[in-house]
Every structure is written in structure tokens, then in C-alpha cells.
Amino acid sequence: MKLTYETGTATLIQFIVLGLLNILNGLDSIVTTCHHEGGGCFSNIFSSVVFYILTIMWFGIVLLIGYAAQEKRSRRLAQILIAAEAMIALIAFFNIRLNVRYHNGLLSLFTSIADLLLAVWIITLAYRLMKAGGRRITKQRSRNRPSPDKL
């Protein structure tokens, strides 16, 4: 299946993948903190839950924008989606740099890389949708080749 302008499907994939990866990251952080001596276990659980809820809310909003842009074939919604995904890509890029520099763990690095790749993919889909301007997106034929019915 080739997704040419299906930003709704792409943002749903992003929502599911990053939701699951963020659950794993949160659990890893909680387990790591609770195994060390100190009183930071309960505060880390609380902050991890709040962070997860905020992250899911953000990706849920992006999911709604992606579906609305796809269904309405709206140039403006595609631009908003591109801006939201550009913010996601920028944050993911900085997370990758921090993970590489301070070795925060492979799971966190993998999550940030997946986040960046999905954001770039959705930006390209939204750009194609924006470029089409409400029309159907089709492959353009080269002017040098004759069409199949003229052969």
C-alpha cells in the first residue's frame, strides 16, 4: 500500500508507535529510579505519568489534524500539520543529540529516531497534500513519453 496523501493513516501510525515506545521509556525510567536508593521513586512515577499523558494528548491533537487535512484536502490544515510535525522533528533531533552525547539508553535513542523518521515522513505526505491544493494527487507523466492510448 502506497500512502500518497493519507496523512490521517500516517499520523495514526505515529500515534500508536510513539505511544507504545513512550510507555516503554516511562516504565524503564520508573524501574531504573526505583531500583536505586533514594526517595525519588514516587516523584518519578508521577512525573512519568504526567509526561505520558501530555505526550499522548499532543500526538492525539496531531492525529486529529492529520485526519482533518486528509478528509478535507485542506491546504491550511496541511500547513498546520507540517508546522506541528516540524516541532516534533526538532525536539526528536535534540533528543537524539542528547542521547548520543550523554548515553541515556538505547530505548530512548531508538524512540527519538523513530519519532524523527515518522515526523519527516508525515511532513512529506502533508507537503504533497498541500501542493495538490484540494485536487486529487496523481503521478505526473513525462512530456517526452507518449501516452499508452497513442501507441
Annotate 113-141 with DSSP letters as a single string: HHHHHHHHHHHHHHHHHHHHTTSPP-PPP
Q: Which three cell numbers stand for residue 51?
A: 509526561
pLDDT along the chain (151 residues), means of 10: 75 93 88 75 86 93 93 91 96 91 84 94 92 64 60 57
Neighbour tally for 146: CB within 10 Å: 10
E strand or H helix that includes residue 60: helix 41-72
- From CA 111, how far away is CA 73, in angstroms rounded? 30
pTM reported for the whole predicted model = 0.79
DSSP, res 3 = -
pLDDT of residue 31: 85
pLDDT of residue 32: 82
